[in-house]
Structures are given as C-alpha cells and as structure tokens.
C-alpha cells in the first residue's frame, strides 16, 4: 500500500468511527456504482447518507473539503442516483455528506469535520 492509499484508508477508518459514534449505521464501504465508488453508505435515522471522505496530511494543499471539485460533486451525485436506482431507494430521504479528515505528521487525526448536505440536490 502506498502513502496515498494509506492516507485514504486512515481517513475512511476515522470517518466510519465518527459516523458510528454519532449514531449512524454503516451499510457499506467502498460501494461500486458503475464506474464510480461511494466511500461510505450509512443510515442516519430515516435518511440514507452517501459519504465522500477527503483526507489530507498537512495544510500545504488546503483543506480536504476544498479538494471536492464541481466535477467530483457531479460524480458523487451520479453515483448516489445510481445506487438509489439499483436498490429501489428513490422513496427514501437521502443526502450527500463530505467528511474532511486532517492527519498530523504521525498519522493521527488532527481534525475531522462533517459537511452535511454538501451537494445541492
């Protein structure tokens, strides 16, 4: 596993733990939807949540959530819509969140922020 993959793995693990501690049930991780992948699918009460996890080490490239480009937002929306179609889930409440994880130089979580409804539906 290379450094970038390890950073992503640590961020996704931190995000899952945070979501579970907040009362969400994790339905799936790294869920394939066509050519796209949803990092985490979770249930928050009666709402299905599609989660994109963005992880960074250091701040030289900006915050993790700043890396979610308009193109990435469209990919996230398309993947969520495909998941809803494949699972007959259109009647459910749903949203797309971004979990931003900042790691320190020892790979510990320095900050974790959840941006709820990160994509306008």
Residues in a beta bridge with 8: none
**Phi and psi at residue 87, to the nearest 5°:** -110, 10
Distance from C-alpha of 119 to C-alpha of 77, rounded to nearest angstrom: 7
Q: Find all residues with CB under 8 Å of 33, minimum gap 6, and list them.
A: 79, 80, 82, 83, 86
Q: Give me the tens of pLDDT residue by residue for the chain, a chain 121 residues long.
A: 678 888 889 999 999 999 999 999 999 999 999 889 999 999 999 999 999 999 998 777 777 888 888 899 999 999 999 999 999 988 899 999 999 999 998 999 999 999 999 987 7
Residue 103 confidence (pLDDT): 93
Q: Give me the pLDDT at residue 63, please.
A: 78
| Four-point Cα dihedral 106, 40, 98, 38, nearest 10 | 110
> What pLDDT does residue 5 have?
87
Q: What residue ranges define each of the domains in the chain, with the CATH number in brackets?
A: 3-115 (3.40.1350.10)
Query: Which of 95, 84, 100, 102 minimizes the C-alpha distance to 118?
Result: 95
pLDDT of 51: 98
pTM of the model: 0.92
């Amino acid at each position: 596993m290379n450094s970038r993959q390890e950073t992503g793995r640590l961020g996704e693990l931190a995000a899952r733990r945070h979501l579970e501690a907040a009362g969400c049930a994790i339905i799936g991780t790294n869920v394939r939807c066509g050519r796209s992948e949803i990092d985490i699918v979770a249930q928050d009460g009666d709402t299905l949540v599609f989660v994109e996890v963005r992880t960074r080490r250091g701040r030289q490239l900006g915050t993790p959530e700043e890396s979610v480009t308009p193109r990435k937002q469209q990919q996230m929306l398309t993947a969520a819509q495909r998941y809803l179609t494949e699972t007959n889930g259109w009647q459910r409440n749903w949203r797309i969140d971004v979990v931003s994880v900042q790691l320190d130089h020892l790979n510990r979580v320095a900050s974790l922020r959840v941006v709820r409804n990160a994509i306008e539906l």
